Amino acid sequence: MTKKFQNFIDGKWCDSKDGETFENRNPAKWKEVIGLFPSSNTEDVDQAVESARSGFKEWSQVPPPARGRILKKAGDILTARKKEIAKEMTHEMGKVVAETKGDVQEAIDTAYYAASETRRLFTHTAPSELPSKFATTMRRPVGVAAIITPWNFPLAIPSWKIFPALACGNAVVWKPSKDTPKTADIFTRVLLESGVPPKTIQLVYGLGESIGEVLVKHPGIDLISFTGSTGVGKKITACAGIIKISLEMGGKNAVVVTPSARLDLAVEGILWGAFGTTGQRCTATSRLIVHKEVHNRLVSNLVYEAKKLKLGDGLKKETQVGPLVNESQFKKVSSYMKIAREDGADIVTGGKGEASEGWFFEPTILDNVQPHMRVAQEEIFGPVLSVIEYEDFEEALKIVNNTEYGLSSSVYTNDVNEAFRAIEKIETGITYINAPTIGAEAHLPFGGVKGTGNGHREGGWPVYDFFSEVKTVYVDYSGKLQRAQIDNY
């Protein structure tokens, strides 16, 4: 019998108000139903937000270091259950177990970092312009945070948002992706076991078109943190009003390989960046911009290595590339093969899918791609690498920037001048030198520019700015009225 899961609303596990459900399936064996999950409605969202407002009043009064002890315990629980959680994650979203272990580890790192930050929620103290007057600032929690997360990092990305939100004293209403609901169940239970008060965390399952808009428009929501497509991010901005919004959206990330680069190192990094997580990362290497002197040798080596990659069920030890997450993603990636041919690109390896059991698509390399082609401009979100040749380093940097996105970038070079020119001129939030476009670390800021984000950052210290408000405090101990800007001149 198929297991039935529930929302966590108002301190208890419960079905959706109308009893509707949706299926969660294994992308490697699509006939296998993992579970049934609530398809929530407006009434469910209303109850969750109302409860979170009550939970906020309690949680915001807990001293930050005491919150930190709870977050540390969550990290301890995740550490103890790392292997088990990783397998569950692979089961529902497909990427290989080595990668889902990394997903869990990122959540662990984020938990411990957030726990330590609760003792370091620093602000500034500044001198007053008047005598016998003290001026300082302090951080305060914002309120109820709507957390909307994707399926490709079903534990890491929620942890980037939920741990800092809780560390700062906010309550959370979380809507996870419909493709990875079981991981959300696991994470919510970990938070509750660690000691997060029940009304502080609300878990509401459902389809984006059904409850996503209801959640972001809800008058009881004080801030929104979203990771997903640029199109949805724009819709959130249009309908959410004046509250704080953090958007982490699409990417069309490029690796530049120069004549001075170590090609063996570049090959390893490009393969990992392009085909890790089956290319289903916002930071995935989607474009390879390679100098004409090394183009043929590099592409030949990449094709040779890509053909050796083992495609299959992510739970099997020998698998190196898992399935795409669902049928829609499979059809999208497949459609770009036709687009590539029509635009004049060559499929030099891969280009085919196999969907008899799951949504498998071969690691694919497209050569003779021009910067204006759709495969060089649009986010495919699959195991597809587009190769563009260049002659001059300045030209390469212009090609990197010739996209609406600006998340991650990489340059392989042994020329220090090229490295620093790239760091200065590439229009992305992240730049790697002699490393792939993927591999962000939990204690450093993560995010992009242009169509990728709206100025906020996940991870590191800046995320605590987003999840808190700065309050300015003046203490006048002069014993008389002092008028700033008047009595001091």
Report the alpha-carbon distance of residue 174 to residue 203 in Å, rounded: 5
| Residue 226: closest CA among 432, 478, 71, 447 | 447
Q: Which residues of 270-307 are buried (b: 16+ CB within 10 A; e: fewer)?
A: bbbbbbbbbbbbbbbbbbbbbbeebbeebbebbbebbe
Residues 6+ apart with CB under 8 A from 431: 408, 409, 410, 411, 422, 423
Using the structure block, give the residue that is written with the tokens 């509250």: 243
Pairing of strands 244-248, 253-257: unpaired
Distance, first Cα to last Cα, the chain: 80
Per DSSP, the three-state class of 487 is coil
CA distances from 421 to 367, 390, 403 (A): 26, 16, 19
Pairing of strands 346-349, 364-367: antiparallel
Q: Which of 14, 168, 239, 282 is catalytic?
A: 282
Per DSSP, the three-state class of 261 is coil
Dihedral in degrees, nearest 10, Cα atoms 357, 360, 362, 363 = -150
Report the alpha-carbon distance of residue 263 to residue 97 in Å, rounded: 28
168 included as an active-site residue: no
Using the structure block, give the residue that is written with the tokens 């088990």: 84
Residues carrying an active site annotation: 282
